[in-house]
Amino acid sequence: MERWEKKMDTIAPRPRRTAFLLLVIPLTLLLIFGCTVQVHDRPTNPIPPEVPSRKDGSGYKSEHVFIVVMDGVRYSETFGDPTHRFIPHLYHDLRPQGTLFTHYHNRGVTVTRQGHSTLISGTWQTVPNGGPRLTRPTLFEYYRDEKRAPSTKGWSVFAKGPYAFEPYSSHPAYGSRYAGRHVHGGRQGDGLTENTPEGDVTVLNRVIEVMKTDQPDIVFINFGHTDHVGHVAKNIGEYHAAIRNCDEQMWKLWNAIQSDHHYRNTTTVFFTNDHGRHTHDFHSHGDHCEGCEHIMLLVLGPDIKKGTVIEREALQIDVATTAGELMGLQTPLATGRTLAECLTYYLELNRKEARTEAAHRALYLEQLADRNLIKAAADYVLATTKPEGVAANLIGEVLLRGMIHGQSETKEPRHLQFVQRWIDVHKHAKAIEQKAILGKVILELPSAVRKPYMDMAVQIGDRMLASPPDFADENDALIGGIFLGRLSEVTKRPRYEEPGLRMIKASLRQPDPKRPTDIEKAYELFLLGQAAALFRDDITVMKAYILTAAKALNRMKEDGALWDDPLVSVLDLCGIEASTRRGAMREFTQRREHDALPACVEAMTQQEMRALFPDRPRAPLRNLQNQLVQLIWERGKQGFPFSLDMLRYGVNEAGAYGNGSPAAQGGFLLSFKRLDWRYGGNTWPGPDSGKRP
């Protein structure tokens, strides 16, 4: 036995050596043949072994981006012209150094403000010329937020006036604190103008000056003379000459970039247009014809393919996203794609991720805003409020009318049943003020639903005619008069109309014993808007309404904005919306001939005008009246849809708007409306009515 054990001791190591060899030999063979396979299958166009890298590790050579706009020029006069006679530098000198997109389009609104706003935000924008700010963040805002860069690192230099572009958005997560520097034409003494060829030369000189003093990383440039000449030229030759001049400035800009050691070989430039011009009439633009939508895009830079022509369609929203990719920058709300086909290699750096507090907040707000907000707000009312707990007063009216209006969108019976239960609770109200509220609510019901309640509303109206109430409060008098006017409208019985108008006028003559708060002023506007909708031909009513509306709009921070108090915002918007919906504002929102003023404005006194515009104590009455009409146009018409749309950022996860009070919920339900993506009667964007941004 010992002999056997000794023998085993001598041979035991052999299996271990064999196992070792069995392990090593296959691994060696696998390594040899594996390496052979890898070498054999190497891609034909590999990423260079030494990928150029910026200091922040983004991987691209580009550290700066210039977006350069030749304003309002058709593709048929640039790269679509077989002779290229108007753009000799762009075609012969610059095209071989970069990538040309032959099917690049503005599928949005083909107007200056909208085109520039789309370019810099990467989202389709409908903000009109001279109107509100764009609704999504700009490249400047993304860059300053993510890179913690100072304002001098983003510059926009425009030949056109302030109507053409606003340098930061109205988005609540971004805005002015992330704005870049901006200079525009139209100011005396600085030479920036769209009216002369020299204006474009001044733009170039200002950009070169900024390059030396601030060394910005993002530069947005507008050469505006081409569009100006397109509108006013007596013959097309003047328009062509403006294109040649702009081509010269673009060529000089490229040379200035290449001669500056800070920008040379680290800058990508997008040469493009904001919009084109009508295919058959170069004097204008703004629709979806080929001439307006088909524009140029030539891209040059250290990461851009040279001498390349791409026929795949690219869109105006793609420029900002591509710029973000090259800068290693996230553009979380941009909807365009990266134009990877023009890059020498694509690293997918711009994933539109939220990497900052502002970006996280922006995505959170958009997620909340993308819900059916009307349903969310109406459901919140059902969850937190009982009909019997809602008083028959002005606050109750706002809530109940909001639920009625909301149900017209949600189509949910329970939202309307809430109102019907309230009517059943208050149908035996004794005070005439409460009965007037009850009658107003009944009259706002859908015709089929209000039919069983109409006898009740008529009885209230007849009682008011038989025994005219003596309202101590001016709002109660307004409510009573509006009820009678609306009753006349619904029943087609004129006998209620004149007493209603007298009641409203009597309320307007009552002196205000105290200085009203902003909320009290908002409730007054809420009622006067209804009165103006019913009696829009009465100068006294319209004058009172317009003065009250103008005071409210004057307190608004800017076009398309809201007021500081959420409740004030919805009440003011409700009042203006009521009058607008019924055509009471038609004289203010249509083009006026021969500087004619609306009759109610003609009736306003110097004292009333100076109280409205105290900063102009010596201005002539006519000037102040024109300023009033302009204020109503800019904020009560042009910017109004943007104000309504801004309300969507005020609804929380539970569906509460503002503080969730009954008046706030009702006001939101009554006033909120998303932006209508239409422009000039044409469905936007493009010919397909189903498209939305």
Domain ranges across the chain:
70-367, 371-431+515-683, 432-511
3-state secondary structure 454-500: HHHHHHHHHHHHHCCCCCCCHHHHHHHHHHHHHHHHHHCCHHHHHHH
Burial label, 454 (beta-carbon count in 10 A; 0-12, 13-18, 19+): middle
What average pLDDT is seen over the chain? 89
Q: What is the largest CA-CA distance in the chain?
A: 133
* Rounded CA separation 194/185 (Å): 7
Q: What mean pLDDT comes out for the span 152-175? A: 96
Q: Is the pLDDT of residue 54 over 80?
A: no
Lowest mean pLDDT among 298-302, 399-403, 513-517, 569-573: 513-517
Q: What mean pLDDT comes out for the span 432-436? A: 95
Strands 98-105 and 267-272: unpaired
pTM of the model: 0.87
pLDDT digit string, tens, across residues 296-344: 999 999 999 999 999 999 999 999 999 999 999 999 999 999 999 999 9
Residue type, 344: T
**Cβ contact 119:107 at 8 Å:** no
Q: Looking at domain 70-367, what is its CATH homologous superfamily?
A: Alkaline Phosphatase, subunit A (3.40.720.10)
Q: What mean pLDDT comes out for the span 513-526? A: 89
Q: Is the pLDDT of residue 30 over 70?
A: no
Element (H, E) at 448: helix 447-450
Chain position carrying tokens 């007849």: 462
pLDDT digit string, tens, across residues 348-394: 999 999 999 999 999 999 999 999 999 999 999 999 999 999 999 99
pLDDT digit string, tens, across residues 577-631: 998 877 778 888 765 555 689 999 999 999 999 999 999 999 999 999 999 999 9
Q: What mean pLDDT comes out for the span 56-60? A: 65
Lowest mean pLDDT among 72-81, 383-392, 503-512: 503-512
pLDDT digit string, tens, across residues 238-258: 999 999 999 999 999 999 999
Provide the percentage of residues in the chain whose pLDDT is more than 90. 82
At CA 419, angle to CA 392 and CA 453, rounded to 5?
85
pLDDT digit string, tens, across residues 190-243: 889 999 999 999 999 999 999 999 999 999 999 999 999 999 999 999 999 999
Predicted local distance difference test score (pLDDT) of residue 28: 45
Predicted local distance difference test score (pLDDT) of residue 51: 36
Q: What is the dihedral of CA 107, 110, 115, 121, to 10 degrees?
A: -30
Chain position carrying tokens 């791409």: 310
Predicted local distance difference test score (pLDDT) of residue 592: 54
Radius of gyration of the chain (CA): 33
Q: What is the DSSP string of 95-160?
A: GGGEEEEEEEE--S--SHHHHHHHHHHSS---PPTT-S--SS--HHHHHHHHHT--GGGEEEEESS
